[in-house]
């Protein structure tokens, strides 16, 4: 069993393996194998099934244990020698002893247990079950469990409640899972194991194990033959420690988690304060302990630095920057992180980052990946000291935290982004169309006045003399429109040329190796033929357009010459006009001509006005559709958040209560209106925004369009505010109606401990510690990526940590990794941390030695935990004595 054992893990154990002679002696038939062949077959099965611990337990016999040990132990399989015996009430037990126990010692143990002559193939003891358990545990230093307790001669089958309740009996063997006991014997067995039968109630749950009698090597493959025991290193001492906390350290075969979450396997630092440090993590509950200044926080911040996780709070960002600069910057230090990514389907990666550089991600083959650390661990949470408190104060962070519990809906977000973009495009087009329509309307509104002025000129008899003036102006309008049409066609031809199909993306190289390349080649051929045909048509059209442009130029020159001649005649006619009202005839004629030209320029705009009305109506309808779509998307998101809140409330019942306040964050609206620089309106005059029971930016925009009266009636605004809002440009009104108001998350914490009637208080009325408590409840919920925290116990009391946080950690750590730097013994001890790293500091250099990493079942680690977190054995015992526990 050479090699590093830095953390506790589950080891597969077969705890009732019989020697070669058992099958013939107790099953009535041999297995046709010699003892040597049997032991070799046993070894092969153990290796094939990755069984690392074997409990040898023949019925009252230990003579064959050494032969099996000599085969198994050199292969790295630990053997716990022992035997199966029966008490004087004929209840069967299996007794196991340390791996170095000799057969001679075992023989003496059998003698101390007052064995009688075998009956029915089992050697019973003179001792009662209670006496037998006391002798094995207290006198012999062994471990005893109730064998096949639901079967004949089993502890529960014989209804031995007083024995079941003995604290020194810590385990009982069943054939399968506890759920499979449902309904058997009126559900008696299952209720007892779940501690729901008062006659069999225990202070601590009995550990259920699978340890089927293995009569031949093939039996090891049976699901009921093995179970899983968590130990740092497979030793008998660690094995016994596991049964002090079976809820965390003992698993039946059916309870092994199948779905592996993301995990950070190691963190290595080169250069700086932690130069040479390498932490080998378990992937479950990993805790960092040590005195002040030994490097615990530095490790957390180095991990954050390597994985490029930006602190969420301003103070946290400042602290992170200072720690990294101080501990890595001077030596241009480097951090290396090995991890498994759930998001990337369980693949392993190595992330390295040097001070002053960006992270580099490499795959298992050592190739540099295009993925970023965030792609590998998209939901990774890292929090420095007091950062949770900063998180509790920020409404946006609380909302993002809740959104983590929504199912991924990238299509919805993409669709929402598209709607917002289309709304912005629509606003630009609609604003321009409405502005152009206003200018057009302004021109058309001049027409009656111009026509009235024209009549006064015509009273002077100018209409007949200058009858050709409006006609010549109409010709100029037609010429301008003809030129405009020709330019439009030229632009369209250029656009069509740019839109021809491009098939470079379907080159032979791009299609190489694709399973359906022939079909794709056929598609490429069709596109190429279409391109050639269209190119020919475009060339033909461009030729036609060129000739027409030349011909048009000649026609226009002829028309321009005729226009010039006519204009010369008009000028001569103007000079011959008589004077009137103090103006010469020519002045009167020029004024009349200018008036006629203006009227003829405006008159065609009447037909264009209808076109603009159709355009604006179309754009307004498009906007109504988009706003309706936006409203639907917002409603769908709100429903999803409310559903997530309800689900969380069920999971956190009695501890936390969450409520969504739709569009409760009114700050964006205030900021928007303040940025509009409304005349006479400051922040105090926007108090109505917070006072409104319900607020819709779409409804507010509609009221603004209707004017001050509607704003007063609908919103109760003062005349000053209503008047200022009604003057908003239409572009800002449209920006307003698509403005997003974030939902608020109201979090309430039950401040009454234990079984007392719950009393919930909102986050803003809680103390600092209570606020952190509320956020921690959410952070500890399901997530496939790790949660890393520096001193999560800050601002929390020990009772809360023991009663709530540790309980949730124990439940969640099989499905999620937690990495905590802590000064609180409750987290690594009661949380049963799989990895405890003990940091020390010498000569201004923090270190984490290889032998300073392990779980509580390692004596050196246990002593360090007691010294650092409890103040040492004497201090702990003094407190215990004073508490009178």
* CA 282 vs CA 53, 309, 359, 819, 853: distances in Å: 20, 21, 23, 10, 10
CA angle, corner 166, sides to 165 and 170, nearest 5? Answer: 95
pLDDT score at 176: 93
Which of 253, 248, 255 is CA-nearest to residue 231? 248
Give the residues across from 674 on adjacent strands. none
Gap between the Cα atoms of 477 and 482, Å rounded: 9
Of 259-273, 418-432, 754-768, least confident by mean pLDDT is 754-768
CA angle, corner 231, sides to 383 and 876, nearest 5? Answer: 70
Gap between the Cα atoms of 38 and 712, Å rounded: 95
Q: Is 748 helix (H, G, I), strand (E, B) or coil?
A: strand
Asked if 635 and 713 touch (Cβ cutoff 8 Å), the reply is no
Q: How confident is the model at residue 882 (pLDDT cuts 50, 70, 90)?
A: confident
Instruction: Name the residue with higher pLDDT: 289 or 768.
Output: 289
pLDDT score at 257: 63
Please write down the HEC assignment for all residues of 677-690.
CCCCCCCHHHCHHH
pLDDT score at 1: 43
What is the secondary structure of 95-164 as a DSSP string?
Answer: EE--TT--HHHHHHHHHHTTB---BTTB-BBSS-HHHHHHIIIIIS--EEEETTTTSTT-TTTTT-HHHH
Question: In this structure, what token pair is assigned to residue 681?
Answer: 């309106």
Tell how strand 51-59 and strand 78-86 pair up. parallel
Which residue's entry shows tokens 């009273």? 459
List phi, psi (to 5°) of 22: -65, -45
Question: In this structure, what token pair is assigned to residue 81?
Answer: 């020698």
Gap between the Cα atoms of 677 and 672, Å rounded: 9
Segment 614-639 mean pLDDT? 90
Whether pTM exceeds 0.85:
no
The model's pLDDT over 49-101, given as tens digits with 9 standing for 90+, comes to 999 999 999 887 888 899 999 999 999 999 999 999 999 988 999 999 999 99
Question: In this structure, what token pair is assigned to residue 327?
Answer: 């501990």
DSSP state of 327: I
Gap between the Cα atoms of 305 and 307, Å rounded: 6
Residue 124 above 70 pLDDT? yes
Which residue's entry shows tokens 């007949």? 464
Gap between the Cα atoms of 493 and 470, Å rounded: 35
| Terminal alpha carbon distance of the chain | 40
Contacts of 535 (CB under 8 A, 6+ apart): 500
Which of 99, 102, 117, 134 is CA-nearest to residue 60? 117
Q: Which helix (H) or strand (E) holds 853?
A: strand 853-854
Please write down the HEC assignment for all residues of 650-717.
HHCCCCEEEEEECCCCCHHHHHHHHHCCCCCCCCHHHCHHHHCCCCCHHHHHHHHHHCHHHHHHHHCC
Gap between the Cα atoms of 578 and 570, Å rounded: 15
% of the chain surpassing 70 pLDDT: 95
Instruction: Name the residue with higher pLDDT: 28 or 576.
Output: 576
334-341, strands of its sheet edge to edge: 278-280, 263-270, 334-341, 347-354, 360-362
The model's pLDDT over 450-475, given as tens digits with 9 standing for 90+, comes to 888 777 767 666 666 667 777 887 88
Gap between the Cα atoms of 123 and 117, Å rounded: 6
Gap between the Cα atoms of 750 and 761, Å rounded: 7
Which of 318, 460, 401, 385 is CA-nearest to residue 777? 401
Please write down the HEC assignment for all residues of 424-455.
HHHHHHHHHHHHHHHHHHHHHHHHHHHHHHHH
The model's pLDDT over 190-200, given as tens digits with 9 standing for 90+, comes to 999 999 999 99
* CA 276 vs CA 323, 355, 847: distances in Å: 18, 16, 8
Segment 624-653 mean pLDDT? 89
Which residue's entry shows tokens 């009858």? 467
The model's pLDDT over 286-306, given as tens digits with 9 standing for 90+, comes to 999 999 889 999 999 999 999
Q: How confident is the model at residue 31 (pLDDT cuts 50, 70, 90)?
A: low
pLDDT score at 30: 61
Which of 226, 288, 303, 275 is CA-nearest to residue 7? 288
Contacts of 74 (CB under 8 A, 6+ apart): none
Segment 138-160 mean pLDDT? 95
Give the residues across from 270 on adjacent strands. 334
Domains of the chain: 9-255 (3.20.20.140), 263-404+747-883 (3.40.50.300), 426-501+584-623 (no CATH)
Segment 531-540 mean pLDDT? 93
Q: How confident is the model at residue 260 (pLDDT cuts 50, 70, 90)?
A: confident
Q: Which helix (H) or strand (E) holds 874?
A: helix 873-883
Question: In this structure, what token pair is assigned to residue 79?
Answer: 């053997």
Mean pLDDT of the chain: 88
Asked if 377 and 343 touch (Cβ cutoff 8 Å), the reply is yes
The model's pLDDT over 677-711, given as tens digits with 9 standing for 90+, comes to 999 899 899 999 988 888 889 899 999 999 999 99
């Amino acid at each position: 069993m050479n090699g590093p054992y830095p953390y506790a893990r589950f080891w597969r154990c077969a705890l009732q393996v019989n020697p070669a002679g058992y099958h013939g002696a107790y099953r009535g038939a041999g297995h046709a194998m010699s003892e040597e062949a049997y032991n070799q077959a046993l070894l092969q099965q153990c290796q094939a099934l990755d069984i690392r611990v074997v409990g040898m337990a023949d019925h009252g016999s230990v003579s064959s244990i050494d032969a099996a040990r000599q085969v198994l132990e050199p292969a790295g399989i630990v053997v716990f020698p022992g035997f199966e015996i029966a008490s004087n009430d004929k209840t069967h037990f299996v007794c196991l002893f340390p791996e170095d126990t000799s057969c001679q010692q075992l023989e003496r143990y059998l003698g101390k247990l007052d064995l009688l002559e075998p009956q029915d193939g089992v050697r019973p003891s003179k001792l009662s079950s209670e006496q037998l358990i006391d002798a094995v545990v207290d006198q012999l230093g062994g471990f005893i469990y109730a064998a096949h307790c639901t079967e004949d001669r089993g502890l529960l089958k014989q209804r031995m409640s007083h024995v079941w309740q003995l604290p020194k009996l810590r385990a009982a063997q069943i054939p399968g899972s506890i759920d499979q006991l449902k309904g058997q014997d009126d559900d008696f067995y299952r209720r007892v194991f779940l501690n729901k039968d008062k006659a069999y109630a225990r202070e601590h749950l009995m550990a259920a194990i699978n340890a089927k009698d293995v009569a031949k090597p093939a039996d090891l493959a049976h699901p009921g033959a093995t179970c899983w025991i968590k130990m740092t290193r497979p030793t008998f001492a660690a094995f016994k420690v596991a049964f002090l906390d079976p809820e965390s350290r003992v698993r039946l075969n059916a309870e092994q988690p199948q779905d592996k979450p993301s995990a950070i396997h190691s963190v290595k630092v080169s250069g700086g304060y932690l130069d040479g440090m390498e932490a080998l993590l378990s992937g479950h509950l990993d805790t960092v302990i040590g005195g002040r200044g030994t490097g615990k926080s530095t490790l957390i911040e180095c991990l954050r630095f390597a994985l490029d996780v930006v602190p969420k709070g301003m103070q946290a960002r400042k602290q992170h920057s200072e720690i990294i600069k101080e501990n890595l910057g001077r030596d241009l230090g480097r951090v290396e992180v090995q991890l498994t990514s759930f998001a990337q389907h369980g693949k392993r990666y190595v992330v390295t980052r040097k001070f002053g550089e960006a992270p580099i991600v490499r795959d298992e083959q050592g190739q540099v990946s295009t993925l970023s650390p965030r792609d590998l661990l998209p939901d990774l949470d890292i929090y420095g000291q007091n950062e949770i408190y900063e998180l509790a104060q920020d409404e946006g962070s609380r909302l993002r935290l809740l959104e983590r519990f929504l199912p991924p809906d990238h299509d919805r977000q993409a669709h929402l982004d598209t709607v917002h973009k289309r709304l912005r495009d629509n606003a630009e087009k609609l604003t321009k169309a409405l502005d152009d329509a206003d200018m057009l309307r302004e021109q058309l509104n001049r027409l009656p006045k111009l026509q009235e002025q024209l009549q006064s000129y015509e009273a002077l008899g100018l209409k007949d003399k200058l009858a050709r003036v409006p006609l010549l102006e109409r010709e100029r309008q037609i010429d301008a429109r003809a030129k405009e049409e020709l330019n439009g066609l030229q632009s369209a031809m250029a656009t069509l040329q740019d839109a021809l199909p491009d098939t470079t993306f379907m080159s032979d190289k791009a299609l190489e190796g694709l399973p359906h390349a022939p079909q794709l080649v056929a598609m490429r051929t069709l596109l190429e033929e279409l391109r050639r045909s269209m190119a020919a048509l475009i060339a033909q059209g461009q030729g036609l357009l060129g000739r027409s442009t030349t011909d048009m130029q000649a026609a226009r020159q002829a028309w321009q010459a005729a226009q010039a001649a006519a204009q010369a005649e008009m000028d001569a006619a103007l000079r011959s006009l008589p004077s009137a009202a103090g103006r010469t005839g020519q002045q009167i004629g020029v004024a009349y001509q200018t008036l006629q030209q203006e009227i003829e320029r405006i008159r065609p705009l009447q037909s264009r006005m209808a076109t603009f009305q159709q355009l604006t109506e179309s754009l307004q309808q498009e906007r109504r559709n988009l706003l309706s779509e936006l409203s639907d998307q917002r409603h769908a998101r709100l429903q999803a958040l409310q559903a997530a809140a309800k689900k969380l409330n069920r999971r956190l019942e009695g501890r936390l209560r969450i409520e969504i306040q739709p569009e409760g964050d009114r700050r964006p609206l205030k900021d928007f209106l303040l940025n509009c620089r409304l005349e006479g309106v400051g922040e105090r005059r926007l108090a109505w925004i917070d006072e409104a029971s319900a607020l819709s930016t779409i409804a507010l925009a509609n009221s603004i369009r209707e004017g001050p009266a509607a704003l007063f009636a609908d919103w109760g605004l003062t005349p000053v505010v209503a008047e200022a809002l009604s003057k908003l440009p239409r572009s800002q009104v449209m920006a307003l109606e698509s403005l997003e108001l974030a939902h608020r998350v109201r979090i309430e914490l039950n401040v009454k401990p234990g079984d007392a009637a719950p009393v919930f208080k909102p986050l803003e009325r809680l103390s600092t510690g209570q606020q952190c408590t509320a956020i921690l409840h959410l952070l500890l919920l399901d997530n496939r990526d790790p949660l890393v925290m520096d001193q999560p116990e800050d601002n929390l009391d020990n009772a809360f940590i023991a009663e709530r946080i540790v309980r949730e950690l124990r439940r969640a750590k099989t499905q999620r990794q937690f990495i905590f730097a802590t000064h609180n013994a409750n987290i690594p001890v009661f949380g049963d941390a799989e990895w405890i790293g003990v940091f020390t500091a010498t000569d201004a250099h923090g270190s984490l030695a290889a032998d300073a990493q392990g779980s509580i079942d390692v004596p050196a680690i246990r002593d360090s935990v007691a010294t650092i977190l409890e103040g040492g054995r004497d201090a702990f015992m003094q407190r215990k004595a004073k508490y009178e526990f």
